[in-house]
Structure formats: structure tokens, C-alpha cells
A and B are shown apart, each in its own frame.
Chain A
Amino acid sequence: QKEVEQNSGPLSVPEGAIASLNCTYSDRGSQSFFWYRQYSGKSPELIMFIYSNGDKEDGRFTAQLNKASQYVSLLIRDSQPSDSATYLCASETADNAGNMLTFGGGTRLMVKP
């Protein structure tokens, strides 16, 4: 069974700090990994995706992937109160139905002014 695990939080950080969000996955066949941000009552919005080992940076966000450890993380630098949301990690695998996303339970981030 494919599983994606995240600490539900809440993770509380002060404004301006670095927020570190972590995710582990069970399916070694997972090819790509996605981070989504979801505000309460809203649909998820894509932050970034990563499919190669190492770091990928986009503005204040850095995704890190370690396939050997089956570990994905998202770093948010200079955290802002507007970053307060639930962050969903998803892994992508291919099966007979095509490529599928499996979501973790999400980590709730609170950035305090």
C-alpha cells in the first residue's frame, strides 16, 4: 500500500524564521513529489515539485529529496504570516490507471507575527 506520512503539526514558527516541513513515503516506485499549500476551505495550490535527488529552489521555497531515505522536505525561508496554511506532500506513481498522486495528511503551519 502506498503511504505518504507527514507530521500533522501544528508547526509554529516566528515571522522571518525558516519553516521545515517533512514527508516520508513508502513506495520506492514513486517518481515525483509535489508540495501543495492549502488554505482552510480552499483547494490545494501547487508550490513546487521535485523528481531528482538533491535540492530545488524556487524563491523562498526549497524542496529536498532523498530517495535512498524515502524522504522529502520543504523549507520556507523568511516565513510570513500569509504562509500559515496546511502543506500537503504528494508522491506520484504510475499504475495501470496512469499516473496517480498519493497525498500525505498535511502539516499545519502557523507563522506568528
Chain B
Amino acid sequence: GAVVSQHPSWVICKSGTSVKIECRSLDFQATTMFWYRQFPKQSLMLMATSNEGSKATYEQGVEKDKFLINHASLTLSTLTVTSAHPEDSSFYICSARKNTEAFFGQGTRLTVV
């Protein structure tokens, strides 16, 4: 199957700082990538749809100024959590579609202390 690489796998940051997470499609081009957040023992919740060359589409309740998404190329989307707070601690996962299938990155576990 296709490969989606996400980096970093885990990060610990201080409250008030910003963290950037990268999502790359390694062997295919992805005009659309998706960012999900998953709290413990809960399902994936879609945060936003990242569109190459245009603004991301955010789900209701997700602050676009806090979760900055940039999809500058057909193989890279980034999610920046700005001014992170402990309640932002979660598992962030990106996915990209290749044909009819959605492939996921490895996920990034963010802990804000």
C-alpha cells in the first residue's frame, strides 16, 4: 500500500509554545490530506481537510488560528499547534488518499506540560 510518513512521532513541549507536525505522502501525490485528533479511548475526530494550494477546511469547533495548516506541495502538509496548552495534548494523525483508499501516518503524540 501507499506510505504516509508523519513526523515527529512524539513531542513534549512547554505550554505557550508552538509545535509543527509534518505529513508526507512518500510514493504518491496527495491533493488532499486530512488531520485527525484522537483523545484516549476515543475515536478519530476530523479536524480539518488540507487542500494543496488553497486554504484548509476546518471542522466546526476547530480553531483555525490555533491549528495552522499549510499544504504547500502535493506531498507535504503541516499542522502547527500554536500557543499549545495542556488540553491540546492528544494523538494527532494525518491521512492521505490514494485512489479509493485512505492511508494514515504513524501519528504524533503531543504532550504539553
Contact = CB atoms under 8 A, between A and B. Distances in A.
Contacts of B104: 36, 43-46
Interface in B98-113: 100-107, 109
Contacts of B91: 41
Contacts of B105: 43
Interface in B14-60: 32, 34, 42-46, 49, 51, 57
Interface residues of A, number: 21
Contacts, number: 49
B97 interface: yes
A17 interface: no
B49 A49 contact: no
B105 to A, nearest CB: 6
B109 A101 contact: no
B43 A88 contact: yes
Nearest to B91: A41
Interface string A25-44: 00000001010100001111
Contacts of A68: none
A101 B102 CA distance: 9
